[in-house]
Amino acid sequence: MKTKNILLIGGSGFLGSHVARRLAAQGHRLTVPTRHRERARHLLVLPTVEVVETSVHDAARLTALVAGQDAVINFVGILHSRYGLPYGADFARAHVALPKMIAAACRAAGVRRLLHVSALHADANGPSQYLRSKGEGEAALRAAGDALDLTIFRPSVIFGPDDAFLNLFARLQRLAPVMPLGNTRARFQPVYVEDVAEAIVASLDRSEAFGQAYCCCGPRVYTLAELVRYVGEQIGRPRPIIPLPEALARLQAGLLELLPNPPMSVDNLDSMDVDSVCTEGEPLPFGAVPTPLEAVAPEYLAASTPRYRYYGYRLKARR
Ligand SMILES: NC(=O)c1ccc[n+]([C@@H]2O[C@H](COP(=O)([O-])OP(=O)(O)OC[C@H]3O[C@@H](n4cnc5c(N)ncnc54)[C@H](OP(=O)(O)O)[C@@H]3O)[C@@H](O)[C@H]2O)c1
């Protein structure tokens, strides 16, 4: 396999780091821009990874990063934003403006291969600012047409050591005696982070992936209540779940989003109006068999992961 130069924008995060490890193991030369070098420290041990502290929102710096790459992968995504219609300014910047700038930088630098991580049911007319902005971001990339060999990935919620979803419910059940919960019947089809990483890496050289959008899901559908109950059982703290009526759930989310590192927002609740499940086709591209949650989650849920400890420290420090 030919060694490639690959730019991983947002590559310091949960999914990006798994992809970086796989690509580095194949010998590819990776560049990972980050806003804070410290956040990408775990990647510095990989021999072919260069971490660059910079702003990818600066067009000139972005174009310089893209120049000379064989492929670009965009992982940047956020869960919370200031409010706005159809989406707030932070979503607009991270999910729409940045993909547009990436497409422009690729065209300017003559880089054709672009992989972009979106979200399941991303839709410019979706129920939440998150999904609408993710949908607009996809549309902005598709507008580049034949100038790019584009592949989009649309995962359901992703699980794995250091995930932000199951670990959050573990932490909450360690702290609280009961779990007041909105949208308990919202459905998810959680997908293992290594399965998504494998799909991304496998798509890199496949011409049949050009122009495609792949949904990524696990083998089983769960309600939110089932997932919370499962996590509680795994950590030995199964808390009673108290389903909240919609008005109370929105009030709870509205209060939680005032926290510095919000575990939930009203917009997150709105995203749950559409079930995060794969409705058609295969759960993973290229015939891959998805890993069951039960095969992986018990081990890491029982332990305190670095992200879990970090979140705890931030809560304590109120930062
Ligand atoms: N995790 C899931 O369950 C899930 C489910 C569906 C879709 N997705 C999508 O998958 C992608 C990766 O998710 P993830 O869980 O790996 O996210 P993550 O851990 O939060 O990582 C995202 C990375 O993006 C960078 N970033 C965040 N905000 C940014 C901003 N405003 N400007 C520039 N860079 C920014 C951060 O890098 P630095 O801090 O180093 O700059 C961060 O490491 C995202 O697009 C997400 O929406 C995730």
Q: What SS3 string covers 274-288?
A: CCECCCCCCCCHHHC
pLDDT of residue 1: 74
Which protein residue's CA is at the shortest distance from atom 47 of ligand 1?
77
Compute the distance from residue 236 Cα to the ligand 1 centre, in Å.
Answer: 30
Compute the distance from residue 142 Cα to the ligand 1 centre, in Å.
Answer: 21
Residue type, 276: S
CATH number at 5-158+191-217+277-291: 3.40.50.720
CB-based contact 139:124 (threshold 8 Å) = yes
DSSP code string of 91-154 = HIIIIIIHHHHHHHHHHHHT--EEEEE--TT--TT-SSHHHHHHHHHHHHHHTTGGG-EEEEEE
H or E segment to which residue 253 belongs: helix 246-256
Instruction: Give the model confidence (pLDDT) of 51-79 as tens digits.
Output: 999 999 999 999 999 999 999 999 999 99
In this prediction, the residues of the chain whose per-residue pLDDT falls under 70 are 304-319
The domain limits of the chain are: 5-158+191-217+277-291
pLDDT of residue 314: 54
CB-based contact 211:141 (threshold 8 Å) = no
pLDDT of residue 113: 98
pLDDT of residue 315: 47
- Candidates 179, 218, 185; CA nearest to 296 is 218
Instruction: Give CA–CA dist 276/34, Å, rounded.
Output: 29
Please give the number of the atom of ligand 1 that sits closest to the Cα of 93.
Answer: 31
pLDDT of residue 80: 96
Compute the distance from residue 154 Cα to the ligand 1 centre, in Å.
Answer: 13
